[in-house]
Chains A and B, each alone.
Chain A
């Protein structure tokens, strides 16, 4: 995974509560067996009409936000299905940061495996960012968001922060504990399925 750098971009204001992963990537696109190329399916049923033409009123189709790397949205983003395809699609489309008052658990966890930074801020701060039309800067190292008028701090779990900053391989880190895993297996009686 690429190490996470400072991100400077305008924000895409996506004013919707409870966006589920079925909307982020509809099921007809889950049949692929690789991780790449999901960006074109992002919010497919909201972005395109039945003939595959862009729906101009949908926020991602506004040319103003074409190069935005930061999505700002409402409560409980990513609820529903565990499909990691939702994160692959957001990342492949070009987002590096998602800001919301809350996220669904599995989606939140999936983000960190793919270099996507989910930031939780209180609803009032999120409201204020919805009004920001200029670029903002997200500095994960310093845990700060800088807008033209203020600096906002955010909380993040230290382990997950390091994973993103260093682009670490979760599995390699766990395999450093291989002895502990083997010791656990020796004392536990886990009925085999063979």
Chain B
């Protein structure tokens, strides 16, 4: 029977299958970080259980680490306890850890691919919903809760009901690929299918507009699958995928043999059927900006803040949600998006903190200055990204323009470290969630692409980057 890529990966990882129970699925890669793991290790100790496969488990610290000078002690003592706890847990259970001093430290979803931990056809889990990022490589990768982290540590498997395959066809050619980014594509998709449009599914992104994307751009797309409620998102691997992973730290020695196997198996059969399908044409999409408090509350930069009645199209819950969102965001319906002034800019997060994101941002920033009303920071996704950017001289471009150039981590995407918005501050952010208080209690987040964030930093308000010279 013809199968989708997701179904092939699923089937090849079934350990136990039965009709009435969730299947037991084998996990090839388990990524661990400091925030969602302490309780899992604590329970392992209480129940006298071991970690079944430390050799398939990797840990780093990213969520609450400071992004200031790493030679200084950590000021937040509660954060420090969590960091020390991960160090001890990794030591006690024999897990490889890239700690705050390591040259490999970084956001777990940035370092996975960079180190060749992420591989096509594998199952990857992490106690973080943005694990879907790794799907860009044709892996089945999804976020899990802490009890499941414990389950994977103890058994190297997970119990799960099979999600349904969801096809998103991304067609057309972008007119200006510098201005219209992967971030605009995924925001546009979520805007159309809604924040629960993907619930219970694994999305496969397909079509020429996906093939056109680089690996880092595909990661941006898959990363935000969870913002549409999907368990995972993936893209079938191609030559770009295989080239990206060649010669990295953990790339297997028999890599070329593996590539041959993957080429034979890792694709959706031509007659395979999906439970759901959605098509988007990218040839006419505009840069996207969020105006509300969830990632589907998005519009074109050329549009105005919507009126709740129009936005809701008769749905009473949606109307109430939009009204409350505008109140929280302190926005008046009908205001042009380009007239919204901002206080802060954040370029970073597992969505948009990779080298290509920084290169694109630097094109807008070079030779200009951050608006005097704006505080702007760039937080590279990993120490490796930071080093690469510095070797290219990007840090100088950013610093000359008055951007803060910081150490790697999740930073102001979720504000668990000192990088937060003050109440009422408005931020153009390249992160993935604009929920109330996400970047700091009372803070107001607008989700945008790196180039849109960079342009907003310079102008002090949103601008249509298609009108700028980007070459």
Contact = CB atoms under 8 A, between A and B. Distances in A.
A83 B36 contact: yes
B433 interface: yes
Contact of B24 (A26, A28, A180): A180
A142 interface: no
A171 B145 contact: no
A12 interface: no
Interface string B264-285: 0000000000000000000000
A28 to B, nearest CB: 7
Contact of B145 (A32, A87, A194): A87
A157 B159 CA distance: 13
Contacts of A104: 196, 199, 229
Contacts of B425: none
A191 interface: yes
Nearest to A46: B436
A114 B148 CA distance: 11
A188 B26 contact: yes
A193 B151 contact: no
Contacts of A32: 78
Interface stretch (B55-63, B167-175, B446-454): B55-63
A88 to B, nearest CB: 8
A104 B155 CA distance: 25
Contacts, number: 186
Contact of B148 (A35, A83, A113, A159): A113
Nearest to A170: B151
Interface residues of B, number: 78
Given A113-B145, A113-B148, A184-B26, A31 B129 contact: no
A74 B236 CA distance: 35
A79 B145 contact: no
Interface stretch (B2-10, B13-21, B206-214, B399-407): B13-21
B247 interface: no
A55 B435 CA distance: 20
B414 interface: yes
B441 A23 contact: no
Given A35-B146, A84-B147, 5 more contacts: A22-B438, A80-B435, A106-B231, A109-B160, A171-B49
11 contacts: A22-B414, A26-B437, A31-B79, A75-B196, A82-B143, A83-B145, A110-B147, A174-B24, A174-B155, A190-B28, A193-B56
